[in-house]
Chains A and B, each alone.
Chain A
Amino acid sequence: MAERPAGTPGETPETSGKSGLTRTLVKFARYTAMRGIALLATVAIGVYISVWIANMGGYVDKLRKAQIQEAVGIQFRGPQYRDMTPSERRILMNDQMQREIERLGLDKPFIGRSFGYLANALTLSLGRTERMTSDTGSKQVRAVLLERLPTTLVLFGTANLITFFGSLFISMFLSRRYGSLLDRASVALAPMSAAPPWFYGIFLILIFASLAGILPYGGMLDAPPPETTLGYMLSVLKHMLLPLLAWTLATIPIAVYARRTFFLIHSSEDYVELAKAKGLRSNTIERRYILRPTLPTIITQFALTLVFAWQGAIITETVFQWPGLGRLLWQAIGLFEVPVIIGSVVIFAYLLALSVFLLDILYALIDPRVKLGAEGRS
């Protein structure tokens, strides 16, 4: 991890009293702020690299110059220029174009302008789209992108929560029944995660939509959309079932396998044996002696899987025609909508950073070392 919470050497944490709480809070706030800044910096570097890739070795500049030329051309078609000779008009047009290019800084080297692009990209002020429009009719890239954000968040927020808590409970349950048929079955099923969610999606569509005909092929709403709020929600839920199932099939087996192994290794630790010897209830042992110390590591692992999860969303949405960011990106590729493609990269970088940030806060809440400000994080 990037930044470590700085702890003053020799400082001992207060065990009780108000000052202990404030000190913890201050440390916590400092940790959160440092993590936030570090993550923002990484996002900025990532987006800056994307800006260089998207410039395509000067191709974008050519594209923008062509746009200027077109705009100037249209401008000079007006009636007030009708009396001019073609050569006069051409000189005037070239002049105007030159001024416009200078105004936008297109005559300067790319490296200088790249920082301006970075700022624009980070604030999503990417101008107007070329062909795509948002459902409300706006041609602003920001509007097109932000309109699709909630649908993606709903589907993949739910999906990731299911994966996280599902795998946690299942692996807890299995490690308790170590060696049982179910346990061995879960180990045998782990290779299922080799295939990505969209792959299971195609099979699920085949079974539930084509053959059985009980669930929709894709999309998010019935046509026409139901009028009541309840009907609307049920319709969305119905369309979410298959993507969620596909996601679960692909992500849960490996997650269960990893956590189960982890729990099993930890349940043979000495302090767990001691707790058992003390005659504590198995529930308490699991919660306090196995889950509690392993949770920080599990959260770190989950943060890493989340990084891949947002990207898996792109194809899963495409296969299920879920009207989210992923499908938008896919459509943008088809239409060669450069601003939307770059905007999607930025949004995905933000999503990644945000999810890692949230998990970091959770980590800080759980890991006592962070609260104490000890140099304990690896």
Chain B
Amino acid sequence: MRAFSKILSAIRQYPTVAGSLFIILALIGISVYAMIAIPISEAIILWRGADQVWSDTPRYAQPAWTNIFRSEKLPETFVLRMDDVEGTTETLGEAMWRETTILTFEYKYSRFPAELNFFFDVEYDTREPQVTITWISPDGTERRLFRGSVRKGQRYPISQDTKLSRDFGVLPQVGLLADPETLGGDAEPEVMTGEYGLRIETLTFEEGSSVGGRFIVYGDVYGIAGTDHLRRDLAIGLLWGTPIALMFGLLATIGTTVLGFIIAAFGTWYGGWVDAAIQRITEVNLMLPFLPILIMVGTFYSRSLWVMLAVIIALSIFTAAIKAYRAMFLQVKNSPYIEAARAYGASNTRIIFRYLIPKIIPVLIPNFVLGIPQFVFLEASLSVLGLGDPTLPTWGKILTNAYQGGALYRGYYYWVLEPAVLLIITGLSFSMLGFALDRVFNPRLRGI
């Protein structure tokens, strides 16, 4: 206990320790939150992004909070649902009903939205309902966008309507929201701000048949982290990347340091051929091209995070560290208290685990902390090479997607910076803590 408080007071001399401990605790907190808020199975489904999970989010949207720093706000994304608005229904005849719904929204941005989309949600047995959609501009002009029968799961991608873009000479979302006087000339079209409307008239031909739907105005900002090329909300990837990064770093470090430590202890204690074998294996292992072998395993066998982790641990046990441990154990091996233990008849394993290893553990702790960021970055490195786990969202994969998606060329800096900043914060906090601990536990370094 006294030793512990002595270490604590020694640590207190380093202000960076408090800072890095705080960050590490925050990261652990985020991990716990991520695991509770979004179960892993759900996170994987969301990240795979199949079945139009991300139909309501824009592509390449910046984080919404960036608007605070902008004088000219970027348009936000909003969804208008037919279910939220009371429509008027009239019976036209036997088995024929007409329902009229008007969706209205206020558009106040000076930039045009990125996309417009309409998703239908229809119910019918055999006869498909008829739908007519009319666009109402703030100045009262109306334009029919769509008329036809609607099948289940159908959508009307307004932004891809070639007839509209032919009529306007510009993209549909620009033409629909532009001030008509600025259209057609050489000047840039300008937004007509005001209240827009969308009148949806439906004809249903069956009892119980209904038409619902949602109209989406995709903006240029979304959520707290923005979105990527597949419309995925980056917040989910970044959030879930935290526990994965920490777990990967921690497990890999525990595996390599603890195993290496125990093996070195056994080697030094027994000496002879055991020690020689460990030495030779280490020499061969140092010559093995670590990353190319990982790449081979990733290409030929499996890219699962667990397989990678196992291979990384297997390849990182017999490295330079084991030689350093050996040198330390050799010093301790001949100390009097070990001799005393031997004299009272302690078994080999007892001496190794109760006397030899505990003596060196202080040296192990800084190494341990310094190892974590290395493995966190190794996971990111593997992702850069395209060997990231195919299902899990990780920071490295987001960074790679961004890099390969040309985020640096096309100006989507948020996409690169968010995972990069998280990586560097994690790396720096662990390694600053490790360096401080190194000075506390290695008296030779104290004061240097």
Contacts and interface: CB of A to CB of B under 8 A. Distances in A.
Considering the complex of A and B, which 5 residue pairs feature the smallest CB-CB distances, nearest first?
Answer: A191-B431, A194-B427, A348-B289, A194-B431, A311-B291
Contacts of B381: 196, 198, 315
Interface string A187-217: 1101111111011001101100110000001
A93 interface: no
B427 A304 contact: no
Contacts of B373: 194-195
A210 B413 CA distance: 9
A140 interface: no
A53 B293 contact: yes
Contact of B385 (A318, A342, A353): A318
Given A42-B284, A210-B411, A341 B289 contact: no
Interface in A62-105: none
Contact of A194 (B298, B299, B428): B428
Contacts of B290: 308, 311
Contact of A333 (B386, B427, B431): B386
A49 interface: yes
Contacts of A261: 445, 448
A46 B420 CA distance: 34
Given A311-B289, A311-B292, A314-B292, 12 more contacts: A1-B283, A46-B287, A46-B289, A59-B300, A194-B427, A194-B428, A196-B381, A202-B408, A304-B320, A315-B384, A330-B386, A333-B298
A50 interface: yes
B280 interface: yes
Interface residues of A, number: 61
Contact of B291 (A38, A193, A314): A314
A330 B300 contact: no
Interface in A23-80: 38-39, 42-43, 45-46, 49-50, 53-54, 56, 59
Interface in B398-442: 399, 403, 408-409, 411, 413, 416-417, 420, 423-424, 427-428, 430-432, 434-435
A160 B218 CA distance: 49
Contact of A349 (B288, B320, B424, B430): B288
Interface in A314-329: 314-315, 318-319, 329
Nearest to B396: A199
A349 B287 contact: yes
Contacts of A46: 284, 287-289
A285 interface: no
A310 interface: yes
A53 B300 contact: yes
Contacts of B300: 53-54, 56, 59, 338
A149 interface: no
B301 interface: yes
A196 B373 CA distance: 10
Interface string A343-365: 01100110011001000000000
A334 interface: yes
Interface of B: 16, 280, 283-284, 286-293, 295-301, 320, 327, 370, 373-374, 377, 380-381, 384-387, 399, 403, 408-409, 411, 413, 416-417, 420, 423-424, 427-428, 430-432, 434-435, 444-445, 448
A302 to B, nearest CB: 12
B301 A56 contact: yes
Nearest to A260: B448
Contact of A334 (B289, B386, B434, B445): B386
A89 B288 CA distance: 48
Nearest to B295: A333
A318 B431 CA distance: 26
Contacts of B16: 188
A2 interface: yes
B424 A329 contact: no
Contacts of B385: 314-315, 318, 330, 333
Interface string A169-192: 000000000000000000110111
Contacts of B286: 42, 304, 307
Contacts of B288: 46, 49-50, 349
Contacts of A334: 386
A265 interface: yes
Contacts of A330: 385-386
A336 interface: yes
Interface string A94-123: 000000000000000000000000000000
A45 B444 CA distance: 39
Contacts of B284: 42, 45-46
A195 B292 contact: no
A136 interface: no
Nearest to A333: B299
A345 B384 contact: no
A344 B292 contact: yes
Given A202-B416, A319-B403, A348-B289, A54 B296 contact: yes
Interface centre among A191, A319, A329 (most CB of B within 10 A): A191
Nearest to A39: B287
A138 B437 CA distance: 55
Nearest to A378: B327
B384 A53 contact: no
13 contacts: A50-B292, A188-B16, A190-B435, A191-B435, A194-B374, A199-B420, A217-B408, A257-B435, A330-B386, A342-B296, A348-B292, A349-B287, A378-B327
A89 to B, nearest CB: 35
Contacts of A206: 408, 413, 416-417
Given A194-B377, A210-B411, A319-B403, A199 B386 contact: no
Contacts of B380: 199
Contacts of A143: none
A355 to B, nearest CB: 11
Given A53-B300, A318-B384, A202 B399 contact: yes
Contacts of B428: 191-192, 194
